[in-house]
Chain A
């Protein structure tokens, strides 16, 4: 059974003016679709792996045959990361409400503002292509980054100290922001706070804590 492109939970223009329509459209219909096409091609003879939910495929990364690992790392990672990303964004953004996630953030970073700064710094300083994440690992929240399409779900043997359960994530590949923000990645990162889906993040936190 092949992986398919998940529909966006909102229209391509729904995140304007923060994330522009053209980028959302190309990002979803071209970039994400390409990851899926290549992943399906790589796993077409491997029914056991290709029937897994892609997020589970990431946690089972070490079971991927060696000759398929590079493709699954890049394209399986791409499919997993982008599937997560669309749900991690919302046109109905609100500030993070008081609750278990906010308390955990304050406990881990000292304050919400300190967390924001840490996340912005991480996202800004990724060299080349990658992602910035807030993850849950061993009951504690951490800001980490991964290169290219590595997912924190791939585990320590692949991503080292970035291994964990993603709570929020930000794509900092240039294709995620170049059309609107050009070289100004920091402006794109600031805009992210206007579209991040804290409700989904709270759900993730509860799932990851159980």
Chain B
């Protein structure tokens, strides 16, 4: 029989201080978002993965299936937030600086301009009902790029590869922007780290 072994996931450190993304995103939000919300996804994923290992080892298929939504939700939450912290940066570390290279060319040919892709991205964000994320993605079938939204913590998987994501869950902005999410969607571009998106595009 096969034994499933796995290592625990851990909360990644941020490359910047909690307050470094101000005024776009407050230090208070960053601290809660990273040390509480993301930490909970990490803990809950590890717990669910442990249970999944145990169920796999005893061949309990029903239990494995019952754990899938928890793996999806908390594992997705961990993946999404890990990518998110990397595609944010303080202004003095490249936050807000426009993209260059191949990704920039793709943006221009697909959307017309950087301003256009931001507009479309923000429209996608505004259209999310409930909780979710908007992502700039690479389509591995066509080699092209596009914008997709995902509900809750569903991660970008399969045909699409995540390039750049924005968290539209209320916890991502509520303490600072309350219900005025359009203001958050506008402000966050000042701290978007296009370098991370370029690197992901090259690897995808």
Q: Which residues of A contact B (CB under 8 A)?
A: 26, 30-31, 34, 74, 127-130, 147-149, 173-175, 178-179, 182-183
Q: Is the CB of A128 within 8 A of B169?
A: yes
Does residue B65 face the partner (Cβ distance < 8 Å to A)? Answer: no
Does residue B175 face the partner (Cβ distance < 8 Å to A)? Answer: yes
Q: Is the CB of A183 within 8 A of B73?
A: no
Q: Which residues of B contact A (CB under 8 A)?
A: 32, 36-37, 40, 69, 73, 129-132, 151-153, 169-171, 174-175, 178-179
Q: A128-B130, A182-B32 are in contact. Are A175 and B73 (CB under 8 A)?
A: no
Q: Which of B37, B73, B169, B175 contacts A179 (CB 8 A)?
A: B175
Tell me the bound Cα distance from A30 to B69 in angstroms: 32
Q: Is the CB of A174 within 8 A of B69?
A: no
Q: Is the CB of A129 within 8 A of B175?
A: no
Q: Is the CB of A173 within 8 A of B171?
A: no
* Chain A: minimal CB distance from B119 (Å): 21
Q: A174-B171, A174-B174, A178-B174 are in contact. Are A128 and B179 (CB under 8 A)?
A: no
Q: Is the CB of B32 within 8 A of A148?
A: no
Tell me the bound Cα distance from A178 to B172 in angstroms: 10
Q: Which of A34, A129, A130, A147 contacts B179 (CB 8 A)?
A: A34
Tell me the bound Cα distance from A26 to B176 in angstroms: 13
Across-interface contacts of A182 in B (CB, < 8 A):
32, 36, 175
